[in-house]
């Protein structure tokens, strides 16, 4: 294999960050930077596929960068930047728009969910969203992408786009002397106990940035200790005690969600948590969970607030990260132009 292990992942500045983003993504980014070359992006160009007030877009971009840093990402080890500073993302996405098929995009469940019955009126960018995502990843020939479960289908499409590009341009790739598998088959890394954190008010709905239904459904990364504790205390549960084995959570979505959150926050497995709390009711479990969540999240919220209050430090980190990302992106893009037949 010609590819060295390289990690890429991104978060979209389209709302306040929440516990799902932390446990499904950010927390998992941190240990990877010790063993791999890691690139972590704030995907602001994806955010504008639906309308964003420019002031909000800016604020949320800083918030994600602050969350990365507060969680322990080290800008000396990892490349941290925002997508729009590296124009090659848009350029490669255009090439991929011409490789991917309409039918592939139309099958994306996230597009169908977001467009709903209104598909004639959503932006063209929203339809082409997965093509830009493939460009994010393949511009760096990333081999592994840590994400939550909801991104799985987009990553499958990324593999399809890579394979079709490699195939369509096979003769040109060979003629130019590049490796036959020009773009890698990137692996999604969807692991750990909390790849799909659910709403605290409804265990069948995903916790999301745009949950307008209730503020109590979502723990935001900027929440203070009181808000975190209150939301956990008020979280929907059932009257049964916790089971001793994971199987006992099968038809209990709210209980399963809280146990998964506990496990992910404590770096334990669901089985470990149930071994400790099986047989106990939520009267005992919720205060333990609240204490754990506050101890992990509240200090990060404090650090995030400090960083966003004076974003000069973040500006410097994003600019430096963008310079390093661009250096890698330029190499790929020069080769892609050459393969496609663009004259320079
Ligand atoms: P976004 O911004 O919606 O979410 C960022 C990350 O958080 C994960 N996530 C969750 N994990 C567990 N439980 C939840 N309830 C939950 N909600 C969100 C997501 O799976 C994701 O890992 N399309 C992407 C952004 C993107 C990207 C990329 C990701 C653009 N280009 C390239 C990876 C690689 C998105 O909108 O994520």
Which residues form the domain of 233?
215-306
Residue 188, classed as helix, strand or coil, is strand
| Residue of 79, 151, 190 to test ligand 1 pocket, by largest number of atoms within 8 Å of CB | 151
- Give me the residues paired with residue 144 across strands: 7, 187
CA 314, chain centre distance (Å)? 19
Q: Which residues of the chain have pLDDT under 70?
A: 1-2, 210-213
Q: Is residue 151 part of a domain?
A: no
Any atom of ligand 1 within 6 Å of the Cβ of 100: no
Q: What pLDDT, on the 0 to 100 scale, is given for residue 282?
A: 97
Query: Is the CB of 145 within 6 Å of ligand 1?
Result: yes
Is 27 tagged catalytic?
A: no
**Cα(147)–Cα(339) distance, integer angstroms:** 30
Helix (H) or strand (E) holding 125: helix 124-138
DSSP class of 242: P
Sign of the Cα torsion 308, 310, 311, 314 reads: negative
Distance, in Å, from the CA atom of 14 to the CA atom of 22, rounded to the nearest integer, reads: 15
Partnered with residue 7 across adjacent β-strands are 38, 144
> Pocket of ligand 1, candidates 147, 149, 186: which has the most ligand atoms within 8 Å of its Cβ, to mutate?
147
Catalytic residue among 77, 114, 234, 268: 114
The pLDDT assigned to 211 comes to 61
Domains held by the chain: number = 1
What pLDDT shows up at residue 3? 82
What's the pLDDT at 89?
98
Q: What is the pLDDT of residue 119?
A: 86
Q: Residue 137: which residues within 8 A CB-CB, separation 6 or more? A: 8, 145, 155, 158, 186
Residue 209 is a catalytic residue = yes
Q: Is residue 279 part of a domain?
A: yes
Residue 292 resides in a domain = yes
Give yes or no for residue 135 CB within 6 A of ligand 1: no
234 is catalytic: no
**Cα–Cα–Cα angle for 336, 13, 101, rounded to 5 degrees:** 40
Position 303 scores a pLDDT of 98
**For position 2, what pLDDT does the model report?**
63
Instruction: Please give the model's pTM, rounded to 2 decimal places.
Output: 0.97
In sequence order, which residues have a C-beta less than 8 Å from that of residue 144 and are 6 or more positions away? 5, 6, 7, 36, 186, 187, 188, 189
The answer to the question of residue 57 being in a domain is no
Provide the pLDDT for residue 215.
Answer: 83
Residue 255 lies in a domain: yes
Evaluate whether residue 223 is within a structural domain.
yes
Query: Is any atom of ligand 1 closer than 6 Å to the C-beta of 148?
Result: yes
Q: What is the pLDDT of residue 36?
A: 96
Residue 118 confidence (pLDDT): 86
The CATH number for 301's domain is 1.10.240.10
178 CA to centre of ligand 1 in angstroms: 32
């Amino acid at each position: 294999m010609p590819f060295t292990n390289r990690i890429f992942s991104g978060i979209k500045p389209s709302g306040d960050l929440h516990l799902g983003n932390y446990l499904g993504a950010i927390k998992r980014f941190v240990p990877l930077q010790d063993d791999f070359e890691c690139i972590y992006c704030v995907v602001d160009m994806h955010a504008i596929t639906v309308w964003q007030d420019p002031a909000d877009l800016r604020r949320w971009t800083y918030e994600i960068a602050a969350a990365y840093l507060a969680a322990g990402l080290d800008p000396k080890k990892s490349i941290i930047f925002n997508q729009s500073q590296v124009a090659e993302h848009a350029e490669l996405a255009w090439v991929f728009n011409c490789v991917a098929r309409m039918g592939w995009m139309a099958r994306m469940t996230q597009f169908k969910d977001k467009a709903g019955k209104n598909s004639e009126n959503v932006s063209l960018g929203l339809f082409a969203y997965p093509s830009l995502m493939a460009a994010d990843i393949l511009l760096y020939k990333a081999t592994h992408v840590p994400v939550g479960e909801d991104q799985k289908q987009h990553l499958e499409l990324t593999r399809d786009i890579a394979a079709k590009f490699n195939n369509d341009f096979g003769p040109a790739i060979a003629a130019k002397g590049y490796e036959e598998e020009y773009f890698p088959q990137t692996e999604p890394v969807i692991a750990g106990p909390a790849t799909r954190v659910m709403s605290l008010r409804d265990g069948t709905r995903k916790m999301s940035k745009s949950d307008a239904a209730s503020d109590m459904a979502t723990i935001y990364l900027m929440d203070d200790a009181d808000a975190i504790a209150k939301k956990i205390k008020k979280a929907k549960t059932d009257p049964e005690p916790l089971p001793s084995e994971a199987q006992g959570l099968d038809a209990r979505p709210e209980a399963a969600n809280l146990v998964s959150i506990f496990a992910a926050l404590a770096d334990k497995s669901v089985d470990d948590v149930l071994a400790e709390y099986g047989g106990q009711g939520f009267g005992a479990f919720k205060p333990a969970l609240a204490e754990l969540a506050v101890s992990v999240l509240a200090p990060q919220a404090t650090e995030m607030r400090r960083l966003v209050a004076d974003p000069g430090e973040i500006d410097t980190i994003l600019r430096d990260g963008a310079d390093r990302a661009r250096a890698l992106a330029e190499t790929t893009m020069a080769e892609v132009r050459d393969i496609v037949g663009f004259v320079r």
